[in-house]
Structures are given as C-alpha cells and as structure tokens.
C-alpha cells in the first residue's frame, strides 16, 4: 500500500457518508481516499457545470448500471490521472503519489466509487446554507421597505446558487439518480437542512414584524413553498436568457438587483399566508374570490 499524508484534508467525517469504500473504518477518512474523491469531483465540475477541462462522454450498446451510464467518462484512469496531477501541483516529497492500486484497494467496483463520488460532491449542499445569514442581515438588520428587502434577498439567493457548482450537480443528480437510495438520502438531507435553516429565519422575520399565519397555514407550508419556488427560479437561471426576453422572464435582473420571478412569488406567498386580521383560513379567502358580491336590490 502507498504511504499516506495525514492532515491533508479537512477533518470532517466521511465514515457515515460513504457506503461503498472498502475497509471503511480505516479508509473512509484516509487522505488518499479524499484525493481520489476530490479528483472525481473536479471531473464532475468540469463535465457538468461548464468549467473548462472536459465534457461528459457518451456510451451506447448494452444496458448498463445507471451510474455507469451517466458517468462512464469519469473512468478509473481519469480519476487517478487527475489525482496525480493535483498531487504534482502540491509538490513532491510528501508521501507517494496516488496509484491505481490504491484506488482499487478502496473501491472494488467503479460503480461503487461513482456512488460514493456523487454523495461526496453533494456534501457542500448538506451544510447549513450561508445565504441565510446574509438574508437575516438584510431582512432584520437593514432599514428600508420590506418589498425592497425581498428583492435583494431574492437576487442574492438566485445569484449565489446560480454560481454554486454543487447546486448544479444537485440538479443533475436529482433528475437522473434519485432512484438510487443512497443518493436519494443525500438529496433529502440537503432539502431538510436548507428548509429548516430558512424556516427559522422566516419565523424570526414574522415575529419581528408582528405577523401571524392564517389558521390553515403553518411554517412548514411557508418554508417548503418558498424552497420549491427558489429552486425552480434558480434552475431557470441556468438557461442563458434571450436578448429579447421580457423582464418577467429574467431570473436575475442585475440592474435593479432583484430576481423578479422569485421576489414576486415570495411577496404573493407572504400576503396570501399571513392573516390580515380577518382570521380566515387561506382556502376560505381564496374561495371567496369567486363569490359574486351581494348587490343591494333595494
């Protein structure tokens, strides 16, 4: 076996995250294991998020496992080669270079490596979103009209996620690999972490404004509705805008520092879900929109 370089990576624990690595108790948090995963992650970023350095390959012929079918271009040879290039950049004299033998010791099958790689690449999205701290500063700490604050938070959220390579991978994997239980669990963890973080902020904002929700709406309803809306708008932002697109179609308006679709829906949800003082459930309020007003026939 090759020698290892202790302390080369952050100390976060991968033991519960990786399901396929061999001898996981010893190898999951081993620096060389992370080197191979980092190398594969770099190839994913190059292939899927528009970074220079490579494009996904194609395959045809016999039916293959989903991971092999989607990620056949992330081959053992390319991963080891990428890991070796990264090792060379750090300089020699710090242990032996990554080798195919070390790779094969950790993952007995390429599909197993790819399954661990997908979850590893999603790891940044599993942490508490940093956008909530910035949003809290805007919503709770700054002066100004609430609608303008909503504009700014919507703009920041879409812009940050638009530039987030891990979010782009999340969209790819959610559309293609969510049937795999291990990937699905990682995606659910991302969703729950983000919803809970934003829900806490929404509650603090409502409390600060002295607002309460309608009787048939709770904070989960509000948080999940806004989460789904935000992800949908960010997904649209990944498509290059046409020069003749109307303002309403632009997920990002850099001139006015807003995301018009997200800000509009967020404000509409806020108006719909908060109780203006009539105590009516949301469904009743909506139902009454279709009831003709009573006329005085005198």
pLDDT of 26-52, one tens digit each? 888 999 999 899 888 888 887 775 544
**How much is the pLDDT for 95?**
81
* Same domain as 133, residue 260: yes
Q: What is the pTM of this model?
A: 0.77
Count other C-beta atoms under 10 Å from residue 210's C-beta: 6
Given 92, 122, 152, the domain boundary residue is 122
Residues 100 and 200 in one domain: no
User: Are 28 and 52 contained in the same domain?
Assistant: yes
Specify whether 104 is located in the same domain as 140: no
- Is 6 within the bounds of a domain? no
Same domain assignment for residues 150 and 253:
yes
**How long, in residues, is the chain?**
298
Counting the structural domains of the chain, the total is: 2
Domain assignment present for 13? no
Taking Cα atoms as reference points, which of 53, 107, 52, 104 lies closest to residue 82? 53
Structure tokens at 115: 């399954």
Mind listing the pLDDT tens digit for each residue in 261-280?
999 999 999 999 999 999 99
Cα distance between residue 219 and residue 202, in whole Å: 8
Q: Is the pLDDT assigned to residue 22 strictly greater than 60?
A: yes
Across 35-49, 101-115, 222-236, 248-262, least confident range: 35-49
Q: Which of 122, 147, 174 is the last residue of a domain?
A: 122
pLDDT for residue 132 is more than 50: yes
**Separation between Cα atoms, residue 217 and residue 55, nearest integer Å:** 45
Enclosing domain of residue 284: 127-288
Residues 175 and 116 grouped into a single domain: no
In 10 A of CB 291, how many CB atoms?
A: 7
Q: Which segments of 131-180 does DSSP mark as H helices, in order?
A: 131-136, 146-162, 165-176
Burial class (CB in 10 A: 0-12, 13-18, 19+), 101: exposed
């Amino acid at each position: 076996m090759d020698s290892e370089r202790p302390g080369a990576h952050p100390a976060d624990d991968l033991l519960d995250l990786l399901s396929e690595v061999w001898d996981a108790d010893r190898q999951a948090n081993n620096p060389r294991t992370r080197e191979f995963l980092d190398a594969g992650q770099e190839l994913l970023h190059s292939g899927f998020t528009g970074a220079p350095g490579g494009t996904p390959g194609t395959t045809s012929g016999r039916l293959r496992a989903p991971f092999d079918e989607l990620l056949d271009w992330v081959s053992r040879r390319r991963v080891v080669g990428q890991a070796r290039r990264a090792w060379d950049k750090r300089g020699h004299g710090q242990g032996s270079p990554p080798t195919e033998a070390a790779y094969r010791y950790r993952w007995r099958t390429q599909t197993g490596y790819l399954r661990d790689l997908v979850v590893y690449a999603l790891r940044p999205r599993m942490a508490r979103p940093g956008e909530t701290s910035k949003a809290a500063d805007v919503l709770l700490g700054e002066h100004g009209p609430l609608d303008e604050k909503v504009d700014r938070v919507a703009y920041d959220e879409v812009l940050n996620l638009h530039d987030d390579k891990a979010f782009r991978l999340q969209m790819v994997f959610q559309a293609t690999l969510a049937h795999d239980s291990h990937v699905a669990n990682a995606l659910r963890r991302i969703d729950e972490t983000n919803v809970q973080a934003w829900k806490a902020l929404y509650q603090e904002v409502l409390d600060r404004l002295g607002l309460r929700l309608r009787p048939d709406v709770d904070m989960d309803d509000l948080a999940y509705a806004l989460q789904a809306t935000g992800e949908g708008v960010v997904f649209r932002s990944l498509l290059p805008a046409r020069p003749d697109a109307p303002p309403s179609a632009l997920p990002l308006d850099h001139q006015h520092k807003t995301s018009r679709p997200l800000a509009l829906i967020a404000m509409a949800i806020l108006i719909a879900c908060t109780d203006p003082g009539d105590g009516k459930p949301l469904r009743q309020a909506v139902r009454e929109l279709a009831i003709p007003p009573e006329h005085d026939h005198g």
